[in-house]
Amino acid sequence: MSSWSELQHPLAAHHLAILRDAATPPAQFRNQVDLLATLLAIECTQDLKLAPISVRTPVGVAEARRLSQRIAIVPILRAGLGLVHPVLQLLPEAEVWHLGMYRDEETALPVEYYSKLPADCPADVGLVLDPMLATGGSIRLAIGALKKWGVADIRVLSVIASEPGLKQLANEFPDVRIWVGAIDPVLNDRKFIVPGLGDAGDRIFNTRA
């Protein structure tokens, strides 16, 4: 079984087409990210554990089930913030912890500048959010931070991944499962995904020059 899954839903293909389009304005771009993050979150949470409960309805008692695991949502700043809201809509009781990283433009390597993970009492499940998995460097640092915290079940959600970055991440962390909206074949000389969609953070937050 592969450690990664690519969305095959026709709605994912439809919304990705709009997302990739350079003419898509920021407000619509953010909406497409929301929709794709929702689809990814639904896919990646299918095996979360449940505990039986009884609830009283207006006309009786119903046997039901609710989530029994403590879940941490970990967006990689800044672009990962664009995926937080739709995931929280599905998991409103999840914790949100932030990791800040930027890419050194000369080396294309990630540099960590902020970490807000506690030292103990790890969550049961950690969801790493980053819309683009290019080289995978930032996500590798995030996975390392979650492993240091003690999270046993780490899952990654990305809208678009490069094939080489995805394979390297999967080889390095075979126990980490990855969900992506699409897999693109290559990186260019600037380590951007091709064809990709450009800089996700700039397009989400409308900061393109």
In sequence order, which residues have a C-beta less than 8 Å from that of residue 189 and are 6 or more positions away? none
Range 167-175 contact pairs with CB under 8 angstroms and sequence separation of 24 or more: 168/135, 168/136, 169/133, 169/136, 169/139, 169/140, 170/2, 170/3, 170/4, 172/140, 173/3, 173/140, 173/143, 174/3, 175/3
Asked if residue 12 lies in contact with residue 42, where contact means CB atoms within 8 angstroms, the answer is no
Residue 48: phi, psi to the nearest 5? Answer: -65, 150
Give me the residues paired with residue 187 across strands.
193
- Active-site pick, 78, 103, 124, 140: 103
> For residue 106, what are the contacts with CB-CB under 8 A and spacing of at least 6?
none
The residue annotated as part of the active site, out of 107, 175, 207, 208, is 107
Instruction: Please confirm, yes or no, whether 155 is among the known catalytic residues.
Output: no
Establish whether 57 is a catalytic residue: no
In this structure, the number of other CB atoms found within 10 A of the CB of residue 127 comes to 28
Which residues on neighbouring strands pair with residue 133, listed in sequence order? 161
Residue 130 among the catalytic residues:
no
Place of tokens 């879940």: 71
Give bridge partners of residue 153 from the DSSP assignment. 125
202 is catalytic: yes
Catalytic residue numbers? 103, 107, 199, 202
